[in-house]
Amino acid sequence: AYDRAMLYFIKSNNKEKQSMLYRLISYTYSERGYNEIAFENVLKSMTITADISDARGVISSPQNLALLYKHAGEMETAITYFRVAAENAKNNNPVRYNDLMGRIALIAQQPDSAIYYYNESYKHVVRATKDSTIKERHLALKHLNVGEVYMLQRKYDSAITIFKHALSFFANGNDRISVMRIHDALARCYLEQQHFYAAFLYAKSLMNSAIETGARPWLRNGYELHWQIYDRQGNTDSAYKYNLKFSALKDSILSDKYRRDIALSEMRSHDEQQKVKINLLQKDKQINQEKLSLEQQKLKNESLFRYIFIATAIALVLIGIFIFRNISLKRKNEKQDLQHQLDLQQLENKKKTIEFQQQTTELEMQALRAQMNPHFIFNCLSSINRFILINKTEEASDYLTKFSRLMRMALHNSEKSLITLDTELQALRLYLDLERLRFKNAFDYSITFVNTIDLNAVHIPPMLIQPFAENAIWHGLMHKTGMGKLEIGLCTENRTLNCTIADNGIGRRMAGAIRRRSGKNDKSMGVEITSGRLALLNKSKNEPALFNVEDLVDAEGNDCGTRIMLKIPYKDLTEVFD
């Protein structure tokens, strides 16, 4: 429908409707969590609005852009664009102006100012129209906005009352977005008041509506609320389930944020180049005007003195030719200087773009490292809980002591982009010792070196080997009958650390069958995150950082284990301290 409408507006050359439709498309994709597409469409709307001086677009386009930055958590940039929209609305649209100023005050955590502006906005609606439906809608919007201010002030009873007033109007009008916004707010209010049943009902309604409408940001909030409600009630299994869903969807939406930031950087770079070109054209125009002025003066002088002295006329012609030649040379030199400046500016912009891409890759690596810690801690705590339930107190104390040592190393290492191989192996041995205690020494492990390695000279990203060892234990050795073996082999070759992780477990095929029977077909989160880190490591260094999986079989062709082969480019001491 959008495509047909846009084609019609383009054929009829209706720029104002084109701009409005781009804003509508941007709003629709923003509510569904596809911020990159939303960002592209709001930029198109702003471009058209600037060309035609659209009175409505100069308010709505920067407001839509501000909402995108607010949803992405970039509050300072959001306030900047809200102020642009408010300034454009100040003289001609007091309803929009006061509403925008209220939004700015709410983001700046100025609740009294926010309530004042929201009330002023509604007063202007009452004075401007007699339409009862319009008044009711703006009253409901005021209740919704003021309710969010009450939440900021932690006045949850007042917020719940005013949200319910607004909910009845939007529910009757089938405004699904506003209804989801209110359900989200009510669930959070009841959660803060420890009214878990009411919080769960509104969170469930929010999640169902988000699934029906495809609104990913609201579905993310629904998962988050379910996780927090179950967590506060002590239902760790359900809390963990929804925490995984929340994290996955949050990461999917945040990845759009990185691409949007890159697009914004490219847009700014393009704007800078356009400004340089405009300056060049303006100077070129100025030179042409000077040339025209001089030529006109020359013709005037020639006409004046032609009737007096022929010799003087000839002299003036020669002088004019000389002046014209000098001006042409000057113009040519200035053009060459300006072109040189433009080339330098383009090189600088390209350099900034490359630096920005490097910063983006590093931020993605930091985000993935930050995900590893909560995942790893959650798994260990679950193991400790089960161990305490089935083992003796002294054994549980020993387990907790080793776990605390491992946590100190994990927290310390997570702050670093690179650690020594010796530090990585110390943490790995601690983890394997904990798992052996948990499984009552049901498996043995060994770490061997194929060639001589200086463990303190090899530097790699932290926690790259542990997730694969964990995967081998949980999906291979845990279900094995008899003594399990986990063998880890290390060697260095051509500045690459080759790591082999082999187990004599049940194999991937049988492990997959067990997961299907149990209804758990999800992949290992630790291996999945580490795969992403290896991909980013490959992208940032332009070097191979990958892993292969090999199924082991016995002489009769039966599965008898799995072998993982990791290739990790490393840095030595000279590169780390360079």
Q: Is 418 exposed, middle or buried (0-12, 13-18, 19+ CB in 10 A)?
A: middle
Q: Are residues 169 and 243 in the same domain?
A: no
Q: 35 is written with which tokens?
A: 């911020």
Residue with tokens 């642009």: 84
Q: Are residues 317 and 413 in the same domain?
A: no
Q: Is 176 exposed, middle or buried (0-12, 13-18, 19+ CB in 10 A)?
A: middle
* Range 322-345 average pLDDT: 83
**In which band, very low, low, confident or very high, does the pLDDT at 459 lie, cut at 50, 70 and 90?**
very high
pLDDT at 397 over 70: yes
**Cβ(369)–Cβ(464) below 8 Å:** no
Number of domains in the chain: 3
Q: What is the DSSP string of 95-160?
A: HHHHHHHHHHHHHTT-HHHHHHHHHHHHHHHHHH---HHHHHHHHHHHHHHHHHHHHHTT-HHHHH
**What 3-state DSSP class applies to 491?**
strand
- pLDDT for 494 equals 86
How far apart are the C-alpha atoms of 65 and 42, rounded to whole Å? 7
Compute the half-sphere exposure of residue 532: CA atoms within 13 Å on the CB side of its CA: 20
**In which band, very low, low, confident or very high, does the pLDDT at 123 lie, cut at 50, 70 and 90?**
very high
- List Cβ neighbours of 166 (8 Å cut-off, separation of 6 or more): 140, 141, 143, 144, 147, 178, 182
Q: 192 is written with which tokens?
A: 């803060």
**Cβ(519)–Cβ(526) below 8 Å:** no
- Which of 225-239, 264-278, 447-461, 550-564 comes out lowest in average pLDDT? 264-278
Residue 152: CATH number of its domain: 1.25.40.10
* Range 86-110 average pLDDT: 91
Q: Are residues 444 and 563 in the same domain?
A: yes
**Cβ(114)–Cβ(102) below 8 Å:** yes
Computed over every residue of the chain, the mean pLDDT equals: 81
- pLDDT for 392 equals 67
- List Cβ neighbours of 441 (8 Å cut-off, separation of 6 or more): none
- pLDDT for 60 equals 85
Residue with tokens 């205690």: 437
pLDDT at 372 over 80: no
Q: Are residues 319 and 399 in the same domain?
A: no
Let me know if residue 282 belongs to a domain. Answer: yes
pLDDT at 302 over 60: yes
pLDDT at 478 over 50: yes
| Full residue range of the structural domain in which residue 527 is found | 391-576
Let me know if residue 32 belongs to a domain. Answer: yes
Q: Are residues 336 and 435 in the same domain?
A: no
What DSSP designation does 1 have? -
Q: Which residue has the higher pLDDT, 388 or 493?
A: 493
Provide the percentage of residues in the chain whose pLDDT is more than 70: 82
pLDDT at 231 over 60: yes
Q: Are residues 59 and 122 in the same domain?
A: yes
Kindly report, residue by residue over 168-193, the tens digit of the pLDDT.
Answer: 999 998 889 899 999 999 999 999 99
pLDDT at 394 over 50: yes
Residue 65, CA distances (Å) to 274, 305, 308 in order: 22, 65, 70
Residues composing the chain: 578
Query: Residue 439, Cβ neighbours under 10 Å: how many?
Result: 15
Q: Are residues 66 and 160 in the same domain?
A: yes
Of the candidates 177, 211, 245, which is a domain's last residue?
211
Please choose, from the candidates 510, 513, 503, 514, the residue with its C-alpha nearest in 3D space to the C-alpha of residue 562.
503
Let me know if residue 200 belongs to a domain. Answer: yes
**Cβ(438)–Cβ(387) below 8 Å:** yes
Q: Which residue has the higher pLDDT, 308 or 568?
A: 568
- pLDDT for 338 equals 82
Q: Which residue has the higher pLDDT, 195 or 418?
A: 195
pTM, two decimal places: 0.45
Let me know if residue 372 belongs to a domain. Answer: no
pLDDT at 568 over 60: yes
**Cβ(144)–Cβ(102) below 8 Å:** no
**In which band, very low, low, confident or very high, does the pLDDT at 342 lie, cut at 50, 70 and 90?**
confident
Q: Are residues 433 and 532 in the same domain?
A: yes
**At residue 218, what are phi and psi to the nearest 5 degrees?**
-75, -35
Q: Name residue 534's amino acid.
A: L
pLDDT at 163 over 90: yes
Q: DSSP H helical segments within 173-309, as ranges?
A: 176-192, 196-213, 216-232, 236-306
Kindly report, residue by residue over 256-300, the tens digit of the pLDDT.
Answer: 554 555 355 445 434 443 443 444 345 455 656 766 677 777 777
How far apart are the C-alpha atoms of 507 and 503, rounded to whole Å? 9
pLDDT at 118 over 80: yes
Let me know if residue 398 belongs to a domain. Answer: yes
Q: DSSP H helical segments within 475-549, as ranges?
A: 507-518, 525-541
- pLDDT for 328 equals 80
**In which band, very low, low, confident or very high, does the pLDDT at 362 lie, cut at 50, 70 and 90?**
low
Q: Are residues 404 and 323 in the same domain?
A: no
Let me know if residue 120 belongs to a domain. Answer: yes
- List Cβ neighbours of 49 (8 Å cut-off, separation of 6 or more): 19, 57, 58, 61
Q: Which residue has the higher pLDDT, 163 or 9?
A: 163
Q: Which of 104-118, 414-428, 537-551 has the highest mean pLDDT?
A: 104-118
- pLDDT for 226 equals 94
pLDDT at 155 over 90: yes
Q: Which residue has the higher pLDDT, 550 or 352?
A: 550
- pLDDT for 188 equals 95
Q: Are residues 284 and 360 in the same domain?
A: yes
* Range 127-144 average pLDDT: 91
Q: Are residues 315 and 400 in the same domain?
A: no
How far apart are the C-alpha atoms of 96 and 100, rounded to whole Å? 6
- pLDDT for 300 equals 75
Let me know if residue 26 belongs to a domain. Answer: yes
Q: 155 is written with which tokens?
A: 């006045």
pLDDT at 545 over 70: no
- pLDDT for 366 equals 53
- pLDDT for 183 equals 95
pLDDT at 498 over 90: yes
Q: Are residues 320 and 444 in the same domain?
A: no
Let me know if residue 229 belongs to a domain. Answer: no
- pLDDT for 154 equals 94
